[in-house]
Structure 1
């Protein structure tokens, strides 16, 4: 009897199309980033020298740093949306990325000299930068969690951390179009602080936001 019931329930099941989770997560993530960008422009505005900044190396360093952070977070979120997922490789990637930019920041401080050290490390927005990143990450995190809930995450805090890591990285990429700071130490310390703050908050919220209903 039980076998007949199981066969009956399984008869109408259709296989899930390949890459459904990737497409769903990507689609919601793009929506979240778009909302974050609109929020940033309305709230903070684009940097006034954006067209000039695009021609500088530092603009593209920030672009690459934040984009790689977001990509690593996206891969981690995708992995942890499934049962038994891991983000070990992405964690190694994050540590490597921060170590490389940190080393570049040390070189920049040595070249510029001690007189410029405070500016390179703190700039003019050190206390505001992480707050802006966390605030701009909210719509991206919400969209990512919405997509992940349709999958089957089992380690909810870690999945929430991964979603927050992606949201923080993507929000920092958006924020970089406003930020005029150009010190590598500033970027390494304060951008990373904002991203990790978003990830930690994501882990806390993920404990209940990613629960299966």
Structure 2
């Protein structure tokens, strides 16, 4: 067989790749996972009874902004990790920006209260359960995002799975804000962050198995 004939045969029936396939997979995964997290929240913890008041309270939206911005940062990095050969570069720093901001805010709050009140601001009322509640709500998101990432071609499986876990934990934290009574920045800086980092750590550990080609 001549070379030209071989090339023509191999090229027969090839269709161009949909350039939006990655975004569609992630949108489906995030919508399905967030719906699952919201269902778990309503079935197990419930929405806080004063949610209507919270929706017009600025500090509530500041609380939501923390995991939302971290979710955006995780997604920015994850989008690069699922593309073979793509360089993440300075995008690695993006998820760290909201963490740094909330830590600065927490330190500012703690510096302006008496020393006797600082521990209560950091522990709140639910420090024992908050991170694990977030991890529980992240389970549907973890499943959905692992499915989405498996549709791609990541080469750094640990990093991709860790960022998927961070994204799952961040979206789960947004959902958890509908229930959580804690309204102090130092609490979010410790326990919300812990709840988001646990799925990321599990993703790092389990990534080679979950995303193996």
Normalised by the size of structure 1, how large is the TM-score? 0.92
Partner Cα separation in structure 2 for residue 148 and residue 141 of structure 1 = 10
Q: Report the Cα distance in structure 1 between the residues aligned to 2:39 and 2:2, rounded to whole angstroms.
A: 54
Distance 1:97 1:137, change over 3 A: same
Q: How big is the shift at 1:2?
A: 8.6
* Offset from partner CA, 1:39-79 (integer Å, 9 cap, x none): 11111111122112222222011111111111112222222
Note the C-alpha offset of 1:7. 3.7
Structure 1 residue 110, shift from structure 2 partner: 2.4
Match in the other structure for 1:54: 55
Measured in 2, the distance between the counterparts of 1:176 and 1:86 equals: 34
Report if the CA contact (8 A) 1:76-1:86 is conserved. Answer: no
More displaced 10-residue stretch of structure 1: 3-12 or 146-155: 3-12
Q: 1:157 — aligned with what?
A: 158
Q: CA deviation at 1:87?
A: 4.4
1:35-74, aligned counterparts within 5 Å? 35-74=36-75
Contact 2:63 2:188 in 1 (8 A): yes
What is the match of residue 131 of structure 1?
Answer: 132
Quote the offset at 1:6 in angstroms: 5.2
Distance 2:192 2:58 in 1: 18
Mind listing any 5+ residue stretches in structure 2 that lack a counterpart?
A: none
CA distance in structure 2 between the aligned counterparts of 1:43 and 1:6, rounded to whole angstroms:
59
TM-score, with structure 2 as normaliser: 0.92
CA distance in 2, matches of 1:194, 1:86: 28
Q: Which moved more, 1:74-83 or 1:157-166?
A: 74-83
What is the root-mean-square deviation in Å for CA atoms of aligned residues? Answer: 1.7
Q: Note the 1:65-144 alignment, pairs <5 A.
A: 65-144=66-145
In structure 1, how many angstroms separate the alpha carbons of the residues matched to 2:154 and 2:39?
30
Question: Given the superposition, is the C-alpha separation of residues 174 and 150 from structure 1 closer, same or farther in structure 2, using an over 3 Å criterion?
Answer: same
Identify which range, 65-74 or 165-174, moves more after superposition: 65-74
For the residue of structure 2 that corresponds to 1:112, the secondary structure is coil
Does the aligned pair in 2 maintain the 1:161–1:206 contact within 8 Å?
yes
